[in-house]
Amino acid sequence: MDFQLSEEQSLLIDGFRKFLQRDAKPLAERYRDQLIPVEEMQRVQRAMADFGVGAGVIEEQFGGMGVDAVTAGLLQFELSRISPDIAVTSLIQNIVGKLMRYMPEPLRERYLEDVLAVNRFGCVGMSEPDAGSQVTAVRCRAVEDGNDYVINGEKLWISNGGYSDFMFLLARFNDDPVGGLGLILVERKDGYETSDIEKMGLNSQSTAQVSLQDVRVPMTNLMVPPGDAMKTLFVSLAGSRPLVSLMALGVAQAALDESVSYAQDRTQFGKPIAGHQLISAKIGEMATKIEAGKLLALKALSQVDRGERSDLSAAMSKWFGTQVACEVVGEALQIHGGNGITKEYPVEYMYRAVRPFMVTEGTNEIQKLSIGRALTGIDAFG
């Protein structure tokens, strides 16, 4: 296994870091805890697409840059050090970009240019009020009517929902619990409505409730027919879970960076607190946890690049990376003492921003159950 970045990756990341400091950081600071307006989010995502972030993963055959999964992961990590909020929007662009290969060609033709140019945002609607970890409980229903489907239902926690022009919707086409689920494209102009959810963190990007009432879409919008949707989504999640892990670890890295300089500057008992063994040991543990989490995520992404099955590594990296990231940011708060819980210091925001990553893209409990099932062959979900 090669742990060395290629020269190309190093140059790309150096350039991206400079861009982030110059462009993304001021935007993130200006909109801390407030929704970044869609035009501003488009502008920054457009600029980042040139580095291969988000829609940059779209395959070359469709006009994209075809950025490999490891490089996409390294970029997401760097972005999340500066703004986990902007990184969530990029992640969804990445997932949408990958799923575009399942769009019927005429639909893809219609959307590709705008997605590549970041003129339009998509989102992925799986979760519902009564279908979270148990995705197969989806109730949102698509009923045939002439050449159309008429869709009714509610989706919840949809990242990019408020920004979106279209949604890849997981809907129920018949009563078969798994076989009845299909993936269909719904456009905002078809009539879905969104309202943003206020959260503990990550409020600079949209997480929305989506309502579909008698939304009529042509049958030709079907992307993955009933029966194959769950398989398609699981392949997609195996690629995106390590990215979520790297995003949480990006926040942890930023918190570690803050902690190192704080521990060097803050003096108590006649010396910098970094000179007290308990603080020094914390810094050592924090750095090691981040490194271990990153290696696990990059291993999973390198399996994606080699076309190997990666669901087990993806589940391991998602729970481990997000868990240790939350621990690291908690320790960063502790190192900052009273200052850590004030709005004046960035670790307070990081503490609120990193926590949702233990829930999104399948909770950490669900990841552990998936690993257990893979190893024992026995399902402990029910």
Which window, 245-253, 278-286, 341-349, 361-369, contacts ligand FAD (CB under 6 A)?
361-369
On the 0-12 / 13-18 / 19+ scale of CB atoms within 10 A, 378 is exposed
x-or-dash string of contact with ligand FAD, 180-209, rule CB under 6 A: ----------------------x----x--
Counting Cα atoms < 13 Å in the Cβ hemisphere of 20 gives 20
- Cβ at position 10, least distance to ligand FAD in Å: 31
- Cβ at position 232, least distance to ligand FAD in Å: 14
DSSP state, residue 351: H
- Whole-Å CA distances, 110 to 49, 91, 115, 120, 187: 19, 22, 10, 11, 12
Question: Which one among 119, 133, 261, 280 touches ligand FAD, defined by CB under 6 A?
Answer: 133
What is the DSSP track for 207-218? Answer: EEEEEEEEEEEE
Which window, 54-62, 213-221, 329-337, 354-362, contacts ligand FAD (CB under 6 A)?
354-362
Question: Which one among 65, 100, 116, 158 touches ligand FAD, defined by CB under 6 A?
Answer: 158
Smaller CB separation from ligand FAD, 87 or 366: 366
x-or-dash string of contact with ligand FAD, 113-132, rule CB under 6 A: -----------xxxx----x
Encoding tokens for residue 88?
A: 């969530």
Smaller CB separation from ligand FAD, 80 or 302: 80
Angle of CA points 152, 157, 162, to nearest 5°: 80
Question: Which one among 359, 371, 372, 373 touches ligand FAD, defined by CB under 6 A?
Answer: 359
CA–CA gap between residue 56 and residue 51 (Å, rounded): 7
Question: Which one among 71, 159, 209, 317 touches ligand FAD, defined by CB under 6 A?
Answer: 159
Which window, 139-147, 257-265, 315-323, 352-360, contacts ligand FAD (CB under 6 A)?
352-360
- Cβ at position 130, least distance to ligand FAD in Å: 8
Tell me: does residue 218 bind ligand FAD (CB under 6 A). no
Largest Cα–Cα distance in the chain? Answer: 80
Check: CB of residue 361 under 8 Å from CB of residue 244: yes
DSSP state, residue 360: T
Q: Tell me, by CB under 6 A, how many residues bind ligand FAD.
A: 21
Tell me: does residue 152 bind ligand FAD (CB under 6 A). no
Smaller CB separation from ligand FAD, 15 or 129: 129
Encoding tokens for residue 57?
A: 């993963």
Q: Which of 315, 327, 324, 330 is nearest to 366 (CA)?
A: 315
Tell me: does residue 245 bind ligand FAD (CB under 6 A). no
CA–CA gap between residue 332 and residue 222 (Å, rounded): 47
Angle of CA points 182, 199, 338, to nearest 5°: 145
Q: Which of 88, 80, 46 is nearest to 255 (CA)?
A: 80
Check: CB of residue 324 under 8 Å from CB of residue 293: yes
Question: Which one among 64, 73, 122, 356 touches ligand FAD, defined by CB under 6 A?
Answer: 356
Tell me: does residue 253 bind ligand FAD (CB under 6 A). no
Q: Which of 357, 363, 376, 359 is nearest to 293 (CA)?
A: 357
x-or-dash string of contact with ligand FAD, 68-107, rule CB under 6 A: ----------------------------------------
Give contact residues for ligand FAD (rule: CB under 6 A). 124-127, 132-133, 157-159, 202, 207, 356, 359-363, 365-366, 369, 381
